[in-house]
Amino acid sequence: MITIIHPIKITSTLADETRFSIYEYMLQRKEFFTVQNIADEFKIHSNVARLHLTKLAEIGAISSEYLKTGKGGRPGRVYKVKQDGITISFPRRDHSLLLKWSLNLIAELGEVALEKAKELSYEDGKMSIQELLSERRHRLPLPFEEKVNLLTNSAKLIGYIPEVKEHENVKSLVFSIFNCPFHDQIARHGKIVCALHESYLRGQVEVLFETEVFSQFESMLHSCDYCNYKIAIHE
């Protein structure tokens, strides 16, 4: 269930730079954290780390529970980013219903509707990068590192972590999608969701790079923790 909190409470909580960095850090990992984990990572006192985690839990950004350590003694409190995330909306709007209706319609109409939807998501992916280029007053061509930086900034808060790998002088981008924004629709419409998400990602990448191979080698559809895409590119 998506948590709806008053927008002012959410924005004021995330306005703290350290707190936002902690949330962003946790968002990129599917694991539990203790107060001490966060304190060590951000080089802050454990009491300060506990305060930040408590504030994030209050707005529904993260959850907390007790887990046994396996070393005896009482279970310790741990924290993890909530799968459903948080929604800022005033007045309340339920966009998830529109998504549900759209996916049901695509499923009902079949392959022709899916191909059209993929075209639209591809164009939206291209537009997202083109708008970012315009905001930063960049023009193509750009240095390789700057193009990767653009993709990273565009994508990391919606679940992508791009990583550059090189093998036998061939560079590849590996995208790990750790926090799929559509995960609650995967059980019923997984193949459609993944097809649209992939076409959006392809649109983003192909604005900046010439691509040769675009393949998915891990998927949440197959009970993986992540979706991973490998894209062979030319600089």
Query: Residue 224 — very low, low, confident or very high, per pLDDT cuts 50/70/90?
Result: very low
* CB contact at 8 A, 139 and 133: yes
Please tell me the total count of domains within the chain.
2
Q: pLDDT tens-digit profile of 152-163?
A: 777 655 556 677
56 and 102, same structural domain? no
Question: Can you tell me the distance from the alpha carbon of 29 to that of 147, in angstroms, rounded to the nearest whole number?
Answer: 24
Query: Residue 231 — very low, low, confident or very high, per pLDDT cuts 50/70/90?
Result: confident
Among the three residues 61, 87, 113, which one is the final residue of a domain in this structure? 87
Q: pLDDT tens-digit profile of 191-222?
A: 898 888 888 888 888 888 877 666 554 444 45
13 and 60, same structural domain? yes
133 and 222, same structural domain? yes
Among the three residues 65, 87, 109, which one is the final residue of a domain in this structure? 87
206 and 109, same structural domain? yes
Among the three residues 69, 87, 105, which one is the final residue of a domain in this structure? 87
Q: Which two tokens stand for residue 197?
A: 């998400």
Least confidently predicted of 55-59, 152-156, 225-229: 225-229
Question: Can you tell me the distance from the alpha carbon of 171 to that of 145, in angstroms, rounded to the nearest whole number?
Answer: 12
114 and 57, same structural domain? no
137 and 40, same structural domain? no
Question: Can you tell me the distance from the alpha carbon of 198 to that of 188, in angstroms, rounded to the nearest whole number?
Answer: 18
18 lies in which domain range? 3-87
Amino acid at 71: K
Which domain CATH number covers 39?
Answer: 1.10.10.10
**Residue 226 CB neighbours (<10 A):** 16
68 and 124, same structural domain? no
Which domain CATH number covers 228?
Answer: 3.30.1380.20
Arithmetic mean of pLDDT over the chain: 79
In the prediction, which pLDDT does 1 show?
47
197 and 120, same structural domain? yes
Per-residue CA distances from 202 to 74, 155, 231 (Å): 48, 12, 9
Amino acid at 16: D
206 and 123, same structural domain? yes
131 and 83, same structural domain? no
Strands 76-81 and 86-87: unpaired
141 and 71, same structural domain? no
Residue recorded with tokens 């979706």:
227
Residue recorded with tokens 């907390």:
64
- Closest among 9, 25, 19 to 58, alpha carbons compared: 9
125 and 72, same structural domain? no
DSSP 163: E
